[in-house]
Amino acid sequence: MRQIGMVLLSVVFLFACKQNNMSSHETIYAFRLKPGEDLQKGLENVVKQNNIKAGWINTCVGSLTDYQIRFANQPKGDTGSGYFEIVSLVGTLSINGSHIHLSISDSTGKTIGGHLMEGCKIYTTAEIVITATDKFNFERAEDGTTPWKELQIK
């Protein structure tokens, strides 16, 4: 039944893209990560397998049992275990480096978010849709505006 749902979701997105005259240079990927899989590694695998040079996350719903998130301007990540809903997953994706933010909520609705790190384990599912284009190439490089490698669009 879930496979049918993902197929229908893909068809809806493809129809919406045609209706909005989305360029034929854009490709939509819809997939599901299963219990125990690592969210960051799963995204990285899809990016590598499809040689995505410029992509972005459209949507994600799911849940985690463990998280590792780096909060703003902190050198190390924070971890936790329990049951968490994924309430937001956004970011740019590329084989040249990705930048992804995750927000999760606990059983009381308390929500935290930050930079996605390896160690976020799927509880029941992570249903993800991403779009990629061949019009751009996302790269990360120090450009002097910040101390970090920032997005360079080519």
88-121 pLDDT, tens digit per residue, is: 999 999 999 999 999 999 999 999 999 999 999 9
**Greatest mean pLDDT among 4-13, 23-32, 52-61:** 52-61
Residue 112 belongs to some domain of the structure: yes
Residue 126 belongs to some domain of the structure: yes
**DSSP secondary structure string for all residues of 45-93:** HHHHHTT-SSEEEEEEEEEEEEEEEEPTT-SS-EEEEEEEEEEEEEEEE
Please give the pLDDT value at position 7.
Answer: 45
Residue 81 belongs to some domain of the structure: yes
Residue 120 belongs to some domain of the structure: yes
Going by C-beta distance under 8 Å and a sequence separation of 6 or more, which residues neighbour residue 138? 53, 54, 55, 92, 93, 94, 96, 97, 151, 152, 153, 154
Please give the pLDDT value at position 148.
Answer: 87
pLDDT band at 70 (very low <50, low <70, confident <90, very high): very high
Q: How far apart (Å, rounded) are the C-alpha atoms in residues 79 and 74?
A: 13
Residue 140 belongs to some domain of the structure: no
Residue 143 belongs to some domain of the structure: no
Nearest to 34 by CA among 134, 129, 102, 128: 128
pLDDT at 46 over 80: yes
Of 74-78, 113-117, 136-140, the range with the lowest mean pLDDT is 74-78
Domain, as residue range, for 74: 2-135
Residue 150 belongs to some domain of the structure: no
Quote the pTM value.
0.83
Q: How far apart (Å, rounded) are the C-alpha atoms in residues 148 and 107?
A: 34
Please give the pLDDT value at position 38.
Answer: 98
Residue 6 belongs to some domain of the structure: yes
Structural domains of the chain, count: 1
CATH classification at residue 75: 3.30.1330.80
